[in-house]
Structure 1
């Protein structure tokens, strides 16, 4: 049950570029890109946001027949968010950090489904595949993060049914501006960030931005730590009055000792005669464990206004990730009376990925209608090569084995007794994945009262994993075609109350062969959602209520056959309520509530089991109070997060649910003058020790965090 992502190689890039040029130049369909989605000119009128994440065309969130959540850079700064999976802790529909705070990976569950393959930046996919090769997002480098809830394959192709997370990069500004930030806190947290932008050489047709950051700090477990370097330059050019191109790049390096937050239920969730395992206990091997990850991304966004009706947009990005990961981890079962066996993860590899998306957008009008037609085509390619020296491995003949490294005391691990393991001959993997899709979508607005939406997408996806070891070589893969549909309707009320109904689909390919000898079919998701968006014209704020029913078919289940069969189903039903608004001119409230009933089929005998790590109930509220009217320059904020009880994995042997917990956060900010600001953020004020969830392992939630910062703006 260990998790993470994969790497790619640089050599395949030229071929990927050649194929991509065919896609972008081959015809009219190729002309519709994700540029708007990536560029996302954010129009923020109070708390109303115009975004392209949901429809790939700039549309006000309150006029989109889908549930969307948005978190701005200003809110991330106010709440002191330094880790990407903390972004949506005050939004509905998201389980943040279900596996506790992992310094090597960001974890989300969206509407009861894992979001491992749901991360995008500037409208283009960030590959997190293979279990350990995860592209990591830096919150200091984003303007905004959007969450489109539910299936989204109509616009994004292969995607999980829970939703899509899209980070919008910081980009150049017309006016000169700059920020220098210094942070320090507990757990040896240190951070320096700089963000500078403005016109190039006082020109009005060229703008730049440079974002840089250094961060260092200890992890939640004894001996764990990570150091990060991040640099993201960008350049925007007005080629003509009708054409703009923006170049975006980023370089990031993470190095340190990864968190190994896996614990048995005995001594964490369940009582033990030896007491509770200290949440800071590292059951890995801190003097042996190592993380070294380097990632580079470079791309562009092109927008061209062809005439009064047609617009062309294109996004493209190349990414490279290089990973060395070595990590000792514990088994999930205790060896009586108080010991546990350990294995090792040892991965070394790299990946190269290329994405391009093209769009044509046509906007036409009559006296009573406004129609927006979107026609697009996109291509993705991933090439991953890595060496696997894990304790648990699949051999070329299909057999598997698990080799224990050693055994340690749960309450007092002796790191000095460790001997570096010999895991045998490595397995070499060569993974190739390609996806091509064409899509069409139409939005029709009638009489400023009704919005109708319909769309379809065709995708061709193929993937292969060629692996070899001393016993021989083998290959797995899939070759699928998929049609995805979406439809929606919304009534725009004069009083700002707008009910809607929508339907959407998703698909996720699966590698392998079933008991009948045929390749597995893709997992197919569908969602029916009904809701209402309330945004009164005389109120600076909004409330969204959504009721959803998401089903995923073709789920793999265990049967009497030696391989799994596609005969299961995963289903998530629930209610989400979310609102952001000003109660007074100085007091802003952000509040959310989520009810989720997520269930799945495990085997012939285990049907309709509750999904682990997903609570029935979650609720949160954050208040920002600007006290400048009475105490100039002072702002304070406070939040509360309730996480309901969750269930462990069926068949795990854990015989009780994980209890609920309530956490409290706070901040205080003081503007010393027009340029200087001091701020303090405290998360988990009471330093609550709690189990964030259990599957086969159990995981401790994040401890108290105290961070002070000083910012200089010009």
Structure 2
């Protein structure tokens, strides 16, 4: 029997079920068996075979000596995710949505290590760190602007600098590609949920030397807590210039505005996770004041990526980004449960902050061989700079019956203000000047 195999294939259960029929044909005198396989297209699919975030090279995931999970664009669309926390729901080793209905922050743990436990952010976007804020002004990117999310479990400091041993989250933005993209979607649901998104891209010139992409989204809905709201719009334009095989330059920007981000508070254990003699609290219970709940944030970023190939084996990649974040928070929050198990103590928390970040990551890539062994080399250097200021205030406010709240009757005390005049987090152990 002469066997011709044009491609190595992975047999599915259906293929295995057909094997007896194939052998029956062979037994009847068939001398030649032609096996033809169609390559599975994994681009934009649920299964990723590679991720530049895993090693900052084009090494396939099967050859990457680290536990890696890649959440593709199709998976995000299938789950219809509206936050990074939702996207991480099915990722091994990751515990997400630790604040329940609070979606203003991406809070998670990887292998038991909490997000930001080093004092730095363990999230990276396009290979560059997304720095923490001073109080409430953390960076966050709407998932509709992302192409993929990669979770690297285990230590990753060799590639990404200071990070906790549990792992990091490395995301990739939607950037220009040669294929035509025309995607528009509209959604609506209960709790006044409305959302519209678009993703447009393709060639500007016939030869593909200039590419573009424009992604955006707008969302409005009620918050989980009674009387709260959530609003967001975001847009991300980008252009790629590729005059020849050896050079590629991408320029991108992002603007995101969250004028209302729901509530940032908690509820007593008795009546939620544990029993309470007064009953169980409803899922929309809110210990604050709907008319005294300001939580807004504005983000803007501009960045670049430059690739230059010296030849087929050696190349360099230069990445840089400037980000500006402004946030304002002023709300009534839960402070404690009194002995009657229904009256709660409350407090005011407020902050007004602004910070800027500069992030750079430069790399040199090379491929060479020593005898029959092939090598792939990467050398790089990253540099981060953070500057910002904030005013933080806290004070007391009258209590309320959480089982029968009467909003609009609160009595507010005097606020005590703490001013964080400057903070630069370039190295571990850096401190802020506080007055």
Question: 1:51 & 1:425 partners in 2: Cα distance?
Answer: 46
Q: What TM-score comes out, normalization by structure 1 length?
A: 0.53
Which string of whole-angstrom CA distances, capped at 9 and with x for unpartnered residues, describes residues 306-354 of structure 1? 1233211111000000001112111144343421111111000100000
Residue 397 of structure 2 corresponds to which residue in structure 1?
A: 405
Using the TM superposition, give the Cα deviation of residue 463 of structure 1 relative to its aligned residue in structure 2, in angstroms: 2.2
Question: 2:233 & 2:412 partners in 1: Cα distance?
Answer: 29
Using the TM superposition, give the Cα deviation of residue 300 of structure 1 relative to its aligned residue in structure 2, in angstroms: 0.7
Residue 74 of structure 1 corresponds to which residue in structure 2?
A: 74
- 2:256 pairs, out of 226, 241, 252, with 252
Distance verdict in 2 for CA 1:48–1:233, change over 3 Å: closer
Using the TM superposition, give the Cα deviation of residue 261 of structure 1 relative to its aligned residue in structure 2, in angstroms: 4.4
Distance verdict in 2 for CA 1:167–1:275, change over 3 Å: same
Cα pair 2:268 2:337 within 8 Å, conserved: yes
* Residues 1:109 and 2:101 aligned together: no
Using the TM superposition, give the Cα deviation of residue 56 of structure 1 relative to its aligned residue in structure 2, in angstroms: 1.6
Structure with the bigger percentage of strand: 1
Question: 1:92 & 1:84 partners in 2: Cα distance?
Answer: 15
Question: 1:313 & 1:466 partners in 2: Cα distance?
Answer: 36
* Residues 1:463 and 2:430 aligned together: yes
Cα pair 2:297 2:327 within 8 Å, conserved: yes
Which string of whole-angstrom CA distances, capped at 9 and with x for unpartnered residues, describes residues 422-451 of structure 1? 21344343111225xxxxxxxxxxxxxxxx
- 1:162 pairs, out of 160, 163, 166, with 166
| Unpaired stretches in structure 1, ≥5 consecutive residues | 1-41, 392-403, 436-460, 469-714
- 2:383 pairs, out of 369, 379, 383, with 379
Residue 415 of structure 1 corresponds to which residue in structure 2?
A: 407
Which string of whole-angstrom CA distances, capped at 9 and with x for unpartnered residues, describes residues 16-68 of structure 1? xxxxxxxxxxxxxxxxxxxxxxxxxx967983421122222121111111100
Q: What TM-score comes out, normalization by structure 2 length?
A: 0.86
Using the TM superposition, give the Cα deviation of residue 244 of structure 1 relative to its aligned residue in structure 2, in angstroms: 0.3
Which string of whole-angstrom CA distances, capped at 9 and with x for unpartnered residues, describes residues 637-672 of structure 1? xxxxxxxxxxxxxxxxxxxxxxxxxxxxxxxxxxxx
Cα pair 1:335 1:341 within 8 Å, conserved: no
Residue 293 of structure 2 corresponds to which residue in structure 1?
A: 289
SS state at 1:90 partner: coil
Cα pair 2:297 2:326 within 8 Å, conserved: yes
SS state at 2:74 partner: helix
Alignment of 1:547-586 (within 5 A): none
* Residues 1:178 and 2:169 aligned together: no
* Residues 1:370 and 2:337 aligned together: no
Distance verdict in 2 for CA 1:262–1:302, change over 3 Å: same
Question: 1:386 & 1:85 partners in 2: Cα distance?
Answer: 27
* Residues 1:51 and 2:48 aligned together: no
Question: 1:255 & 1:46 partners in 2: Cα distance?
Answer: 33
Residue 198 of structure 2 corresponds to which residue in structure 1?
A: 194
Distance verdict in 2 for CA 1:305–1:424, change over 3 Å: same
Using the TM superposition, give the Cα deviation of residue 189 of structure 1 relative to its aligned residue in structure 2, in angstroms: 0.8
Residue 132 of structure 1 corresponds to which residue in structure 2?
A: 136
Alignment of 1:103-502 (within 5 A): 103-116=103-116, 117-256=121-260, 258-391=262-395, 404-435=396-427, 461=428, 463-468=430-435
The aligned length equals 390
Distance verdict in 2 for CA 1:48–1:85, change over 3 Å: closer
Give the alignment's Cα RMSD to 1 decimal: 1.8
Question: 2:345 & 2:369 partners in 1: Cα distance?
Answer: 68
Cα pair 1:100 1:261 within 8 Å, conserved: no
Using the TM superposition, give the Cα deviation of residue 178 of structure 1 relative to its aligned residue in structure 2, in angstroms: 0.8
Using the TM superposition, give the Cα deviation of residue 367 of structure 1 relative to its aligned residue in structure 2, in angstroms: 4.9
Cα pair 1:258 1:327 within 8 Å, conserved: no
| Unpaired stretches in structure 2, ≥5 consecutive residues | 1-41
SS state at 1:278 partner: coil
SS state at 1:389 partner: strand
Distance verdict in 2 for CA 1:259–1:167, change over 3 Å: same
Of the two structures, which has the highest relative contact order with CA contacts closer than 8 Å and spacing of 6 or more? 1
Question: 2:261 & 2:379 partners in 1: Cα distance?
Answer: 46
Cα pair 2:392 2:417 within 8 Å, conserved: no
Which of 1 and 2 has greater Rg? Answer: 2
